[in-house]
Chains A and B, each alone.
Chain A
Amino acid sequence: MTAIPPVLVLVLAGGRSDALRALGRIRTASALPYGGKYRVIDFTLSNCVHSGLNRIGILTQYAPLSLHGHIGIGRAWDLDRRDGGIRLLQPYVRQRETNWYRGTADALLQNRNVIEDAQARHILVLSGDLVYKMDYAELIRFHEEHDAALTLVTVIAPSDEPERYGYVHADRTGRVSALEEKPKRSGGGAVSGAIYAFRAKELLDRLRRPGAGPDLVTDVIQPMIAEKARVFAYPHRGYWRDIGTVDSYYESNMDLVRSSPPLNLYDPDWLIYTPSEDRSPAVFGGQAVASQSLVSHGARVEGTVRRSVLFPGVHIGPGAVVEDSIVMHDTRVGPGASLRRAIVDKRVVIGSGAMVGHQGPVAEDVLVTAADARTPAPGLCVIGKGSVIPASTRIGPDALIEIGVSERDFPGREVAAGAVVRPSGRVAAARGATRGPV
């Protein structure tokens, strides 16, 4: 095995993603439950340890509690080490100037002492909210061989939403000539995978430049390319998904229950690690019907489950039908209830006979709030953490049930397609105070 040169990994995991609606408000995207038992950041962390990288800093800012609780001391990844291991890097108060992380580059700049102290030759800057398997040792080798100041990983653009990606133009040797952010065009091509290997000195110099802006792409990477620094593209040909929107999150989970999933979680040489829970195995009742699904420990299936992902402790009552849905920890789906194309967060109670996402005649409803149409999620119902859906309620497709909605917040038995139900009598969560795309 070739010795890997000293590398410090910094994972950006503090971003806030409004496009995740109720799923993203209480946690940063990196901490989103994924694939039945994981959190999204598990992919990045497991990639690190499988690649032999174990000096890792995780930059957090927005709603980090869930992420911090998940990572703990890094035991699940064997990162509770004497040398290296995991450090959580949160913004902190300083004597002179104190600021929240104002952007990805600013977050790195505020942690420049961590980078300096590491005395690493290369800094691998990763995003905690991506789903992919990748050997970073290969990337670092490529980066060294090309004597690159920066190697950025390119992936094939997922077909949808081209405006979410940055297109990379490179010549035949891999030398990058342009990184075009969020172009107004569609179609395939190599886009940046938000995985960067920097020469440490180069990164520090750029971050420290007076007047340097707060964003890693526009204020560091694009200027490097413009100034003809040695920036190379390293193509990643495997599965790669950014799960920053409700739709992309949903599709990526559904990829796992396809007949031949594009992402193999069962490869014994590249298992994805996550802290385990002390739950009993999944129990299927005598009347259970279950196919094309992932089912985790602590789940109990008495009804029907098809093309769905069930997280630990989910109970599906007798006669209930769950199809094309994602159901998170400890949610209870009552007898005879149905869920179709729904994402249900943790500890939700779906009353018996309730029909969520069901295509049927739904009456006009007073609950529609036009202001919340800013991130349309066509067809998918989202139910926020801890909400209670009263028995026999019908909820149309595309509806959003906010976090912590109780039975009395529903004025009637019907919630129209695209409607939003909020908890009444409760102050809306503070917004804007911690904005920052870290």
Chain B
Amino acid sequence: MSFVSYAMILAGGLGSRLCILSEKRAKPAVPFGGKYRIIDFALSNCVNSGIYDVGILTQYRPLSLRDHIGIGRPWDLDRKRGGVELLQPFQGWAETDWYRGTADAIYQNWIRVEEREAEHLLVLSGDHVYRMDYRPMIEAHLARGADATVGIAQVPKEEARGFGVVDLDGDDWIRGFFEKPASPPSGNISMGVYVFRTAALHAMLREDSERDTAHDFGRNILPAMVSSGRVLGFRYDGYWQDIGTLDSYYRANLDLLKPDPPFPLEDSRWPIFTPSTEFPPARLGARAEVRASILTHGTIVNGTVERSILFPGAVVEEGATVRDSIVMGETWVGPEAQIHHSILDKRVHVGPRARVGYGSDLTPNRSCPEHLSSGITIVGKETRIPESMTIGRNCRVSANLIEEDFPEGSIPSGGVMERELNVAH
């Protein structure tokens, strides 16, 4: 077979820059856009591109992802031939261990690639938001006889620093690959979408496994392949968003609310699949006001919602206001509470008259100023915010806190709320 029929998705990421959103789940399992998880985009792209055989490499906190994927039903991946398989590290073979890096993860599961006898292999990241038909890229890869083909997106040069940056020649062959360079040579960045000639990749992985490297696609495999083989760049000009940081996560979500969104969620030609909830439609009460927002099934709005995204089962009570915020599943915003510029994780309980993301003081977060300085306040899963509590901007409130954990009155901007750790025996 010369066409590509098997895809491996790298979904093991720790995603530490997503702060407490990824504290309890792998980055690809972070909720997005009202009803999705980030991995839905890569998975839906696969099936919409006709690829129905997918392995997902997981390592960090896979439970949430595992529950989400299940047997792959929403993507029609519950199949007799192919389907979806979660590839978790395992013991028992001499050469298997925890995955040392993305490349090592694939190398340890190489048996899966061999079994398929595929000449080419698609490797994807599970933490990007985009719609892409992989077929034209695969065609270019085959037509040009490349060892590897890398999907290339364009960003402003100064923003390229956080990515794998490539140097393309006039025929789009890649002449240099630089992972997170201090001074990027261009704004052409790797999308984390690769097609490999299986034999070329195998040789490279074997070589890499014996060396003391980070065993990482971006840092080790691609640069090495560029220096020794034929690596093609495939330019993609559609919407593509990396969800690497809290800011980019927040921005990508709020992008959906623009009058003419750069990435409309609704597109019947290229649907994004996800397991659905059994909730009834969104219910708006007599005093509801909803503008420039996204509501999912099971949300109940009796207050005001503006420029915000409400996930399934989120409730905004009467007199409450939610602005410029992301409110995840089954979170309850009590009467007359005010939520501004905040991300509330699942099943958060905001007491009546509490204020979250309050004020204009933008003091960066005390414990992680590098990730929380743009004014976003984030509240972890299942935390209960007491009645009339005020929480400022750039605050980080951990998961699973109860009312008694909070101080009297308020948490100023930049504050951190964590329960004092009691060591359990």
Residues of chain A having any CB pair with chain B under 8 Å: 35-37, 257, 259, 265-266, 271-273, 276-298, 300-301, 305, 309-310
Contacts and interface: CB of A to CB of B under 8 A. Distances in A.
Contacts of B285: 259, 291-292
B207 interface: no
The 10 closest A-B pairs by CB, nearest first: A280-B265, A36-B281, A276-B276, A281-B34, A265-B280, A281-B296, A280-B266, A296-B281, A294-B281, A286-B292
A281 B286 contact: no
20 contacts: A36-B280, A259-B286, A272-B280, A278-B272, A278-B274, A278-B276, A280-B33, A280-B35, A282-B281, A282-B282, A282-B295, A283-B257, A284-B292, A284-B295, A286-B259, A291-B287, A296-B281, A296-B282, A297-B281, A298-B266
Given A287-B291, A294-B280, A294-B282, 5 more contacts: A278-B74, A278-B276, A284-B293, A296-B281, A297-B296
A295 to B, nearest CB: 5
B281 A295 contact: yes
A35 B281 contact: yes
B221 to A, nearest CB: 35
Contact of B289 (A266, A291, A300): A291
Contacts of B292: 284-286, 288
A259 B289 CA distance: 15
Contact of B295 (A271, A278, A281, A289): A281
B266 A279 contact: yes
Nearest to A286: B292
Contacts of B276: 276-278
B291 A266 contact: no
Contacts of A278: 74, 271-274, 276
Nearest to B266: A280
Contacts of A281: 33-35, 265, 294-297, 309
B300 interface: yes
Nearest to A279: B266
Given A278-B273, A281-B33, A266 B298 contact: yes
A284 B281 contact: no
A129 to B, nearest CB: 20
B140 interface: no
B290 A284 contact: yes
A291 B284 contact: yes
B278 interface: yes
A135 to B, nearest CB: 18
A295 B284 contact: yes
Contacts of B290: 284, 288, 290, 301
Contacts of B294: 281-284
B266 A292 contact: no
Contacts of A286: 259, 291-292
A291 B288 contact: yes
B272 A280 contact: yes
Given A281-B35, A284-B290, A296-B297, A271 B278 contact: yes
Interface string B50-92: 0000000000000000000000001000000000000000000
A132 to B, nearest CB: 15
B283 interface: yes
Contacts of B280: 35-37, 265-266, 271-272, 294
B273 A290 contact: no
Nearest to A276: B276
B34 A280 contact: yes
A346 to B, nearest CB: 15
Nearest to B312: A281
Nearest to A282: B295
Nearest to B75: A278
B279 interface: yes
A284 B266 contact: no
A248 to B, nearest CB: 20
A283 B276 CA distance: 17
A282 B284 CA distance: 12
A282 to B, nearest CB: 5
A301 B290 CA distance: 10
A276 B279 CA distance: 10
B286 A273 contact: no
Nearest to B296: A281
Contacts of A288: 290-292
Contact of A273 (B35, B278, B281, B298): B278
Given A295-B282, A296-B282, A285 B259 contact: yes
Contact of A266 (B257, B273, B300, B309): B300
B129 to A, nearest CB: 13
Interface in B241-287: 257, 259, 264-266, 271-274, 276, 278-287
Contacts of B300: 266
Nearest to B282: A295
Nearest to A272: B280
A71 to B, nearest CB: 16
A430 B286 CA distance: 44
Nearest to B283: A294
Contacts of A292: 284-286, 288
Contact of A291 (B34, B286, B298): B286
Contacts of B295: 281-282, 284, 295
Contacts of B283: 257, 266, 293-294
A280 to B, nearest CB: 3
Contacts of A305: 284
Nearest to B44: A278
Nearest to B273: A278
Contacts of A35: 280-281
B289 A289 contact: yes
A291 to B, nearest CB: 5
